[in-house]
Structure 1
Amino acid sequence: MKRLWFRIASAFFILILLLTVILWFILAALLKNAYTDVTRDHLIENAQMVTQLISASESYDEREQLQELIKNFEQPIQMRFTVVDTEGVVLADSENDPEKMNNHFDRPEIQDVLQQNETFGESIRHSTTQDFNMMYVALPLVSEGETVGAVRSSLSLGIIDDAMDQLRFSLSIALGLMFLMAAIATTMLARSITRPIDTIMNVTSRLRRKDYSSRVSTEAKGEIGDLSQSINALAASLQSQMKEIEENEQQLTSIISNMVSGVMLVNQDGKVTLMNASMEKFLSQHKDNLIGQPYEKVGERFALSPHIHAVFETNEKVHEEVHSYYPHERIMDAHLAPYYGQGWQQCGVIIVLHDITEIRRLEKMRSDFVANVSHELKTPVTSVRGFSETLMSGEVTDEETTQQFLKIIHDESQRLDRLIRDLLNLSKIEKQEMPLNLEPLNLTALAHEVSVTLQGAIEEKKTRLALPDPSRDVYLEGDEDRLRQIILNLVGNGINYTAEGGAVKLSLKEDTNNVRLIIEDDGIGIPEESLPRIFERFYRVDRARSRHSGGTGLGLAIVKHLIESHHGEIEVESREGEGTTFIVTLPKKQEDS
């Protein structure tokens, strides 16, 4: 495109050159014809003059007198005059001796006059006597009404050739100057046309390279100006559309990237073309290792391949629940559907996976919770109802047995009261309806106060309880009642699940920001498979022993929520038959109460 001006200029150069050459030949021919016509007329005029002189002098019959008359025209004018009779014999000549000259009857111009009776005869030929081309014009010589001979005038064409050469040179100079000026004008015109076109082409090239900010800057008018405005309007429209597409693409990418559901796209060739971060997490592989792979390889983990194949075959949506057991169990709600391109042509399959593992776990927990609450309530209610009905029947008359039944009813009612109270407290804690009353606390002193509350259980089981050094104060910010309940539950569990004569140790450790409360016992321990579930409501490792100990199965669940309300964490380490260690980490300062 950068040489378009050169091609345009070259085309005009060639056209102008052809026109100039043609014009040169035409003008040269016209000038030569014009010059020849002028020369012919001049020869005729002079021949007529000589004819009139001969007629006036009546010297036709006197050859010597005629020769002298004709000889007088040798120098004044550059013409040659020859007089012949009707037989072609030369009677007189202005340049040569007529006696030595050949008969001229065969000359074309002489024959035209003497034989053809033309008013004049004309001929151009090479003169043997003069040795160059000559133009001859002959007129009849008339005496008393009869043709008695002919007068011929001739002129060398060398004069015409010299004049024509001069004219051709001048004409060449003039036409050359015209061609040069036309070439310069053509070049300027081509450049003026192609310069805005070059600008337009540069802009379109930048648009092709996705530089949509480029615009045509030209002052061209007419069609070029209209084209420039159209290109600028097109560029502005493209820039607006591409900006909108990029924004939509960024929004779509952000949405897909931040979706908790896994998204994967399989093209018509069965290759994976798109995958978000959640899908990478579900498949436990980076997308760089999966993009471009066949869906049979990628979908084998959740057994998705048959479902993808079914969508390709039936072109219908599929909704299934799929499972994976490595590295741990996952339950996925899988939605598969075809996606379409232009003309509603199927382009592949889109797969969306929702992780419902936690939902299923919570559903199971809820089901277990309902079953446990029903079971926990059923046992004391059954006992109270049974013993009360026995007493009401009047069948028991023994005072000692009556008191025993009443004590059972009383104990079971207290158990019901504790169960209901724990459920209500747990519900309030979860709903954050029990705000913390924060104040600076000495955790060492609080641990010693709790030990006094548990003194009866300690003495009953002859448990050795080790407490922190009372002289070493450990302070933090917290709710005294809630922290007391945490220590009471954890230490109480340690005593309850430790064999008679066992040991429970409560220790405190602190750093710059946190305090660690550690409760260790050498009791029965917790099986490894039960560790993840001990903080669930009503979950018991040993149901018979837990119920016998008077627990409701909600203590550790309450402890966990109370610790979390203090922005803390609880960990457990245990080996069955060797003991259990609870580690509670609490911040010294409650920044967000």
Structure 2
Amino acid sequence: MFSSIRWRLITIYFLLVFIAMVIVGVFITNQFETYYLNKVRDDLRYISNNTVKKFLPEEDLSENYKNIQKDLYRTPLSIGYQISIIDAENDFKIIASTNREIENLYAMDFFDEYAMLSASTGKIYEKDINEDDMKKYRVKHMVFPYEDEKGEVIGIIYCKANLDEIYNILDNSKIIFIKAMIVGLLVTVVLGFLVSTSITNPINDVTKKALKMAKGDFDQVVEVRSDDEIGQLGRMFNYLTAKLKQTLSEISSEKGKLDAIINHMADGLLAVDFSGQIMHLNPRFMQMMCLEKSEIEGKKYDDIMGRYSEKIKLSNIIKNGLESGSDIIEISNGTVIKVSFVSLRDSQKEVAGIILVLQDITEHQKLENMRKEFVANVSHELKTPITTIKSYAETILSGAVDDIELQNQFLKVIEKESDRMAMIVKDLLKLSKLDNKNMDWNFEPIDAVGFISSIAKKLSVAFNEKNHTFRYIFTEESIIVNMDSHKMEQAIQNILTNCIKYTPDGGEISLSLSRDEAWAHISIRDNGMGIPKESLPRIFERFYRVDKARSRDMGGTGLGLSITKHIIEEHGGMIHVESELEKGSTFIISIPTSHTV
């Protein structure tokens, strides 16, 4: 209970008021007691000095006892007061007293002996004495000496004042004070409860709403009822809530953006601390490394990445104090990955781990290899005719050939090789234009049936030279295709020419044309040497040859199928090849019938 500030405040108020009232009560009671006792003392002193001594004779008190008695009876006294006149010269006999029962008796039997002895020596004596054990309160005794003209003590004025009335008043005052204190304390408790409630209720409200905020509910507003410190606390809480909500919204938005970027980035991302524990990774990392979630649970960085390269091992990075670096690895499925790492620093700029970025450079490597191979192929393709031309020209220039017929033969070879180089350069320029979209196109609606028939007729002589059986199957209805007739003719002729070249004499070549809802399909089939399965994905690459020596002898440049693919794709179409070694090949060209440019 006392852990609550409310009860502590009530207890503090209670104790403060209680202690203050006790102090005030004790102080007032003591002051009342002192006041009343002083008043009794002053009264007795006044009675003795100003009343009794005035009617006492200056000598022989015993002879005048009757007059003294009468005068003493006439003396006005307060209730509880008792005055006795004692003859100090006549064996302390009581010669007069307001208590008639002790008149003419021996004073030593009724009064304090020490008090009378002190008075007989000329001293005023005062003492509060409990005269009876049955009585609760004391009696004040004041003894005054009475002296004659010579200064000798001849009598004693013995005064007694009953203090019961005074202490009854004081006791009643104490009771009244205690009752007032009880009422005051009850009021204090009630007021303390109200005051503490006015303080603790807003605090409890703030606490409850802060707890809700801790659980994620930031739509909390404290009602402000005053302009004091509690009200300021409420206003600051509302301001804090608004700012916190805004800040968290901004952080959440930024985190969402960052998560979206990290989770959808094309590169893999991995963050680890210096103990090798994985702090974060994105889905792309899992995809690139061909890992499942269950495969990385409980594993450290080196268990996953360290096996691929010593350079990217965590121990090696820490040992060499590397801030950044990179390496290229190849995983089991043949994917080539570039791994770049950089140090991860915390808010104190201390190195806390590393971040790895994984880039899939498989296609880049393939393109780089293709580029190198292309350069090598171009160099090789041009080197052969150049070498031939140079050697034949040097032979002629040296005059070593005197035979005109032999010179003409050499010049024909030079011309043939020159034409071959020109054809290679021409095809390369054409490919460059296709790559850079610089080729001029003249698309127009053309009947594909008639178009394909005319191409077949143009190549009929070539078919007959090798005794090829040529068959073509066309639909009876027209198939209108939007195309550039000159470039499409070149594409189809490139395929048919290859079929003629690589199909032995007496072979069969077929050409068919069909359509479905949106496509026109041109199928070209031969029963020639075919294409090996491993070469099928590469036959449309530049300068790629299945049989390099045989292809070069047949006069090809190795660029025809690459040009064909570009032309068909510019028409919005696609080309597909099916082949089996020693059984022939089938090229299928599909062009949209509704293609417009």
Tell me which residue corresponds to 2:101. 97
Map of 2:564 onto structure 1: 559
Equivalences for 1:398-417 in 2 at 5 Å? 411-417=416-422
User: In the alignment, residue 395 of structure 1 is paired with which amino acid?
Assistant: D
1:474 alignment counterpart: 479
Moved more, 122-131 or 208-217: 208-217
Give the equivalent residue in structure 2 for 1:571. 576
* Alignment-derived partner of residue 421 in structure 1: 426
**What does residue range 382-401 of structure 1 map to in structure 2 within 5 Å?**
382=387, 395-397=402-404
* CA displacement, residues 401-460 of structure 1 (integer Å, 9 cap, x when unaligned): 787667655554544443332222111111101143333333333322322222222223
Instruction: Tell me if structure 1 keeps the 8 A contact 2:577–2:586.
Output: yes
1:57-456 residue pairs with structure 2 within 5 A?
A: 61=63, 77-86=79-88, 87-95=91-99, 97-98=101-102, 103-104=107-108, 107=112, 110-111=115-116, 114-119=119-124, 121-127=126-132, 133-141=138-146, 147-175=153-181, 256-257=262-263, 259-286=265-292, 289-290=295-296, 293-300=299-306, 302-304=308-310, 307-316=313-322, 319=325, 321-330=327-336, 332-341=337-346, 345-382=350-387, 395-397=402-404, 411-456=416-461
CA distance in 2, matches of 1:516, 1:301: 50
CA contact (8 A) 1:114 1:150 kept: yes
Deviation of 1:357 after TM superposition, in Å, equals 3.3
Per-residue CA deviation, residues 461-486 of structure 1 (Å, 9 max, x unaligned), is 34344434331333343333333333
CA distance in 2, matches of 1:91, 1:441: 169
> What's the CA shift for 1:535?
1.1
- Which AA in structure 2 matches 1:449? S
Provide Cα deviations, 1:150-185, integer angstroms capped at 9, x if missing partner: 333333322112211222233345555655666666
- Output the CA distance in 1 between the equivalents of 2:507 and 2:283: 51
Secondary structure, aligned partner of 2:108: coil
Do 1:311 and 1:349's aligned partners in 2 also have CA atoms closer than 8 Å?
Answer: no
CA distance 1:518–1:71, change in 2 (3 Å): farther
- My pick for the range that moved more, 538-547 or 351-360, is 351-360
Any idea what SS the aligned residue of 1:82 has? strand
SS of structure 2 residue aligned to 1:473: coil
Task: Give the 3-state SS of the residue equivalent to 1:584 in structure 2.
Answer: strand
Tell me the distance in 2 between the aligned counterparts of 1:174 and 1:194. 29
Q: Return the TM-score normalized by structure 1.
A: 0.81
Instruction: Pick closer, same or farther for the CA change 1:420–1:358 going to 2, 3 Å.
Output: same
Q: Answer whether contact 1:275 1:291 (CA < 8 A) is retained.
A: no
Q: Residues 238, 315 of structure 1: CA spacing in aligned structure 2 closer, same or farther, 3 A cutoff?
A: farther
Q: Which residue of 1 aligns with 2:34?
A: 33
Work out whether residues 311 and 338 of structure 1, in 8 Å CA contact, stay in contact via their aligned partners in 2.
no
Q: State the Cα deviation string for residues 296-333 of structure 1 (Å, max 9, x = none).
A: 21114532566433221110357564332511252x44
Distance 1:67 1:501 in 2: 184
3-state SS of paired residue (2:138)? strand
* 1:243, distance to aligned residue in structure 2 (A): 7.2
Larger mean Cα displacement after TM superposition, 256-265 or 63-72: 63-72
- Aligned to 1:449, what secondary structure does the other structure show? helix
TM-superposition CA deviations, 1:37-87 (whole Å, max 9, x none): 223323444455662575379985366776676567899844334343323
Three-state SS of the structure 2 residue aligned to 1:104 is helix
Contact 1:109 1:122 in 2 (8 A): no
Tell me, in whole angstroms, the C-alpha distance in 2 between the residues paired with 1:373 and 1:562: 22
Pair 1:80–1:508, CA change in 2 (3 A): farther
Task: Confirm or deny: 8 A CA contact 2:120 2:145 kept in the other structure.
Answer: no
Contact 2:479 2:593 in 1 (8 A): no
Distance in 1 separating the partners of 2:450 and 2:436: 30
Letter in 1 for 2:63: D
Rounded to whole Å, the distance in 1 between the matches of 2:134 and 2:140 is 14
> What one-letter code is carried by the residue in structure 1 that aligns with 2:39?
V
Task: Go from structure 1 to structure 2 and tell me whether the alpha carbon gap of 1:264 and 1:142 turns closer, same or farther (over 3 Å shift).
Answer: same
Do the aligned partners of residues 435 and 215 (structure 1) sit closer, same or farther apart at CA in structure 2, a change above 3 Å counting? farther
CA distance in 2, matches of 1:572, 1:583: 6
Partner of 2:543: 538
User: Sequence identity of aligned pairs in percent?
Assistant: 28
Give 1:89's aligned amino acid: K
Structure 2: which amino acid aligns with 1:55? L
Q: Is the 8 A contact 1:109 1:138 kept in 2?
A: no
Structure 1 position 375, deviation (Å): 2.9
Measured after TM superposition, the shift of residue 99 of structure 1 is 6.5
- Further displaced range: 292-301 or 378-387: 378-387
Bigger drift between 156-165 and 193-202 goes to 193-202
The separation in 1 between residues aligned to 2:481 and 2:158, in whole angstroms, is 149
CA spacing shift, 1:94–1:489, aligned 2, 3 Å: same
Report SS of the residue matched to 2:524.
strand
Q: Which region of structure 1 is more displaced relative to structure 2, 521-530 or 243-252?
A: 243-252
**2:502 pairs with one of 497, 500, 518:** 497
Unaligned 5+ segments in structure 2 are none
Contact 1:572 1:583 (C-alpha < 8 Å) held by counterparts: yes
- Equivalent-residue separation in structure 2 for 1:156 and 1:309 (angstroms): 105
Say whether the 8 Å CA contact 2:87–2:95 is kept in structure 1.
yes
Once structures 1 and 2 are overlaid, which stretch shifts more, 402-411 or 358-367? 402-411
**Partner Cα distance (2:221, 2:114) in 1:** 80
State the alpha-carbon separation in 2 of the partners of residues 583 and 60 from structure 1: 169
3-state SS of paired residue (1:152): strand
The structure-2 alpha-carbon separation of the partners of 1:83 and 1:203, relative to structure 1 and needing over 3 Å to count, comes to same
Amino acid in structure 2 at the alignment position of 1:4: I
Question: Could you tell me which amino acid in structure 2 is paired with residue 315 of structure 1?
Answer: G
Moved more, 114-123 or 421-430: 114-123
- Please report how far the alpha carbon of residue 233 of structure 1 lies from its aligned counterpart in structure 2 after TM superposition: 8.7
2: CA distance, partners of 1:303 / 1:463 = 58
1:269 Cα deviation from its structure 2 partner: 0.5
- 1:140 shift after superposition: 3.7
Q: Is the 8 A contact 1:81 1:152 kept in 2?
A: yes
> Partner of 2:56: helix, strand, or coil?
helix
Q: How many residues align?
A: 589
> Measured at CA, do residues 129 and 408 of structure 1 come closer, stay the same or move farther in structure 2, by a change above 3 Å?
closer
Root-mean-square deviation over aligned CA pairs: 4.5
Normalising by the residue count of structure 2, what TM-score does the alignment of the two structures yield?
0.80
| TM-fit CA distance, 1:508 | 4.6
For residues 487-523 of structure 1, what are the alpha-carbon distances to aligned partners after superposition, in whole Å with 9 as ceiling and x for unaligned? Answer: 2223333343333343334445545444444433333
| Structure 1 residues 13 and 439: alpha-carbon distance in aligned structure 2, compared to 1, 3 A threshold | farther
SS at match of 2:63: coil
- C-alpha change, 1:97 and 1:520, in structure 2 (3 Å) is same
Residues 109 and 329 of structure 1: CA distance in aligned 2, closer, same or farther (over 3 Å) = same
* Contact 1:262–1:354, Cα closer than 8 Å, also in 2: yes
> Could you tell me which amino acid in structure 2 is paired with residue 396 of structure 1?
D
